Amino acid sequence: MRSLKTIRAGAGVLDGSAQAADVTLDADICIIGTGAGGAVAASIFARSGKTVVLLEEGGYYTSADFTARERDTEPRLYQEGMTRTTKDAGISVLQGKAVGGTTVVNWTTSFRTPEDVVDHWHKKHAVGGFAYADLIPHYEAIERRLAIAKVPYDSLNANNRTLYDGCKKLGWEVDTLRRNVFGCLQSGFCHLGCPVNAKRSMLVTMIPDALDAGARLLFRARADKLERAGGAIARVRGTLLDAEGRSATGKSFTVTARRFIVSGGAINSPALLLRSGLDSGGLVGARTFLHPVIGSSALYDEPIEPQRGAPQSAASHHFAHRGDEMGFFLEAAPWYPGLASTAAPGYGSSHADFMRQVAHTATHIAIGIDGFHDDLPGGRVTLRSSGAPLLDYAITPKMWSAFRFAQKRLAEAQFASGARKVMTLHERPVVLEGKLDEAAIDAARWEIGCVPVFTAHQMGGCPMGDDPAVSVVRSSDLRHHTIENLHVIDGSVFPTSLGVNPQESIYGLSHLMASRIAASK
């Protein structure tokens, strides 16, 4: 039997924070980022006989570090210590930063890319490099490796069951979800790193597979710049970070390779290309999508205990397609005290009163589907003076309108499932006693800083397509249009958002594209 602990302690794993001198490495393929895109690609390349170096800015944390305590984990496992926001601070950005990327902290929801989304890409974004059918065997391979399976209704916790039941009563489409877990103890702490390795994240599957096949991993290593020689990328240079990832150690690294795979995820991958002078005529960083989220809390007589059980196990896509209006889908969100306290409205005694009700409170969310309308163009990643990414993302009038509509539908579903009281999460919440009051929701202050909006799904910024005038990488193998040894393999290549939680879409696309690249030479 292979052992995660043994693999973690292997000679191929280099801790950037512990290096006494600058590090120089060489490989056939250098992969920058170890999340859903990079880890799958690394596994395939390493098993095909290529020498592979993986680079990761975050730490190599394991279940031993996952204590189910927010204080121990959130600052370490999320980008910018969980303080990342959009430029105007209108949207909080939850995005992982660790070996395994966001897959370490996501809520395990697994969807294949909807077929109509791929059709839209074909028709509207010149994505001709693969057919939907081409993805199927790769989804199947991923689903086997990650033990992805649909959960039964009986396993839904009260937070998810209330959403499911409410949608059913209203005649809305709703279903239980597929999750990438095996032997799950239903402890509910997916968001803080699975303490028992039941979540089949990249940390405990594809990364070990790649390392077992000879790949090397340098973590606490921030890629600063890709350097060109002639028409190709010759090397990546970067900075080694201390054990907590808070500051530079003063040491650097250089990796030379024949091929480079950028897999830093939306926001970070565009930023690396921009730092490297590769802006593709202004296309890099543009059309960044977030699936922006609003929430609704509902008070039930029965205990909800929203921190227990699978965080997400039901969803409704009943409102995903709304013609000229922005669509959205409905899911549940777990509440951990720290996270919950930031979403709960107000301060002082009113906030404390709200928090004391958490054990009887269900929280359901509406997730906006951006990128499919001309007036939902997404945001743009630019660079701060330090070189760190900065995402400018406007919440447009169409989006605010959809949020108001979604807030009403959330309340309807919550009342239908027996909620006694429904509260919006506005700084001055709309409190609905026993029934929906659409006028009250319309009258609420729908502005930045008055209602929390967050994102856990970042997509786009390096779109794929076959027309270099509107895309950064080609869709047949995600190779840069003008640089032959540079690929981008992660969620940044999606030309729109997905309308579903993105992890399996990234796995499947990475599996397909890495297989093609590995077979090409």
CB of 499 to another protein, least distance (A): 24
Q: Which of 197, 276, 455, 475 binds another protein (CB under 8 A)?
A: 197
Q: Would residue 364 be called left, alpha or beta, if left means φ above 0 and alpha means ψ between -120 and 50 degrees?
A: beta
Nearer to another protein, 3 or 520 (CB): 3
Residue from 56, 74, 331, 490 that binds another protein (CB under 8 A)?
A: 74
Q: Is 198 in the site for another protein (CB under 8 A)?
A: yes
Q: Does the protein bind another protein through residue 427 (CB under 8 A)?
A: yes
Q: Looking at 115-123, 151-159, 187-195, 374-382, which segment touches another protein (CB under 8 A)?
A: 187-195
**DSSP class per residue in 437-452:** -HHHHHHS--STTTS-
Q: Which of 488, 520, 514 is nearest to 273 (CA)?
A: 488
- If one asks whether residue 398 binds another protein (CB under 8 A), the answer comes out as no
Q: Which of residues 322-341 bind another protein (CB under 8 A)?
A: 337-341
The answer to whether residue 150 forms part of the interface with another protein (CB under 8 A) is: no
CA 107 to chain centre: 10
Closest CA to 458 of 377, 343, 379: 379
Torsion of CA 423, 424, 427, 431, to 10 degrees: -40
- Cα separation, 481 vs 464, in Å, equals 9
Q: Between the CA of residue 172 and those of 163, 167, 431, what are the distances in Å?
A: 11, 5, 24
Encoded amino acid at 219, one letter: F
Q: Which of 48, 51, 382, 396 binds another protein (CB under 8 A)?
A: 396
Q: What is the DSSP string of 287-341?
A: SEE---EEEEEEE-SS---TTSS-S--EEE-TTS-BTTBPPEEEEE----HHHHH
Residue closer to another protein (CB basis): 71 or 123: 71
Please state, as a whole number, how many other Cβ atoms lie within 10 Å of the Cβ of residue 119. 13
- In the set 12, 195, 379, 502, which binds another protein (CB under 8 A)? 195
Subset of residues 75 to 104 that bind another protein, contact rule: CB under 8 A? 75-76, 80-83, 87-90
Interaction between residue 124 and another protein (CB under 8 A): no
Helix H segments across 357-455?
397-416, 438-443
Does position 469 bind another protein by CB under 8 A?
no
- The two tokens of residue 76 are 């370490």
CB of 334: closest distance to another protein in angstroms?
12
Of 300 and 415, the one with the shorter C-beta distance to another protein is: 300
**Which residue in the set 170, 234, 388, 431 belongs to the binding site for another protein (CB under 8 A)?**
388
In the region spanning residues 230 to 259, those forming contacts with another protein, defined by CB under 8 A, are 244-246
Q: Count of residues binding another protein (CB under 8 A)?
A: 77
Among 21, 347, 520, 521, binds another protein (CB under 8 A): 347
| Residue 287 vs 318, nearer CB to another protein | 287
Considering only 129-137, 199-207, 405-413, 469-477, which stretch makes contact with another protein by CB under 8 A?
A: 199-207
Residue 302 interacting with another protein (CB under 8 A):
no
Cα 57 to Cα 34: distance, rounded to the nearest angstrom: 9
146 in contact with another protein (CB under 8 A): yes
* Residue from 23, 128, 132, 145 in contact with another protein (CB under 8 A): 145
CB of 364 to another protein, least distance (A): 20
Residue whose C-alpha is closest to residue 287's, from 357, 181, 377? 377
**Contact present, 436 and 445 (Cβ < 8 Å):** no
Q: How far is the CB of 356 from another protein (least distance, A)?
A: 6
394 binds another protein (CB under 8 A): yes
> Does residue 70 bind another protein (CB under 8 A)?
yes
Segment 102 to 121, residues that bind another protein, using CB under 8 A: none
Identity of the residue, 81 or 418, whose beta carbon is nearer to another protein in the bound complex: 81
Interaction between residue 66 and another protein (CB under 8 A): yes
Binding of another protein at residue 189 (CB under 8 A)? yes
Cα atoms in the 13 Å half-sphere on the side-chain side of 74? 14
Q: Phi and psi for 274 in degrees, rounded to 5?
A: -65, -40
Could you say which DSSP state residue 461 is in?
S
Name the token pair of 326: 């922005």
Minimum distance of another protein from residue 416's CB (angstroms) = 26
For another protein, the binding residues in 268-297 under the rule CB under 8 A are: none
Q: Which amino acid is at 353?
A: D
